[in-house]
Amino acid sequence: MPQTSHISTRSRLSAARRKAPSLLLLLAVAAFVALVAHQALERSNPNPRPVAYLGPNGAPEVMLRSNAVDQYVASGSINGQPVRFLIDTGAADVAMSRAMARALNLHLVSGGLSKTGNGTIATWTARLDEVEVGGLAVRNLRATVLPNMGGEEILLGMAYLKHMDVRLAGGRLWLRPLTNQAWGFNDP
């Protein structure tokens, strides 16, 4: 009788050893999925539908919340087409990938050379009829199209931001037009 118990234990150990690689693979896949989901949530867009409202001084303003990695990501539009912006005070223009420029059907002109974090690269430029976040629209802006830029986020740089008063506090960013006419609002 003890011998039968010993064989049964060996059989169970042998079966467990055969299943171990599959279980390890399953755990590795689950950990990878959890990591990707966590990173996606950190870089998510907490401002999917920003809306301008009248601020304390009666001027329209938009309030954006930061995401988990303290970036300001917001939905908006370029020439009436929906896009996702990453607010970037270090970018001179509105900057985007060539794929995004194609998706927006922009007319590209050779832009010369630009210095980026990845070195000096040849770029294109385009004119944007209108760039809008939460109803605050700026017209006739320059865009830089970078061939090595990936992703679908468009950098909303100083070409847009210089037309507004920007205020940061407590994980919030407020955009307020410097003048009503620069934003497409009519003076009363």
- Greater pLDDT, 7 or 165: 165
Over range 124-153, report the average pLDDT. 94
CATH homologous superfamily for the domain 53-183: Acid Proteases (2.40.70.10)
Nearest 5 degrees, angle CA 155-CA 160-CA 164?
Answer: 130
Per-residue three-class SS string for the chain: CHHHHHHHHHHHHHHHHHHHHHHHHHHHHHHHHHHHHHHHHHCCCCCCCCCCEECCCCCEEEEEECCCCCCCEEEEEECCEEEEEEECCCCCCEEEEHHHHHHCCCCCEEEEEEEECCEEEEEEEEEEEEEEECCEEEEEEEEEEECCCCCCEEEECHHHHCCEEEEEECCEEEEEECCCHHHCCCCC
Residue 16 has pLDDT above 80, yes or no: no
CA dist., res. 28 & res. 122, Å (int): 41
Overall pTM surpassing 0.75 (yes/no): no
Among the listed ranges 31-45, 73-87, 106-120, which one has the minimum average pLDDT value?
A: 31-45
Q: 98-137, pLDDT tens digit by residue? A: 999 999 999 999 988 887 777 888 999 999 999 999 999 9
Residues with Cβ < 8 Å from 90, sequence gap 6 or more?
157
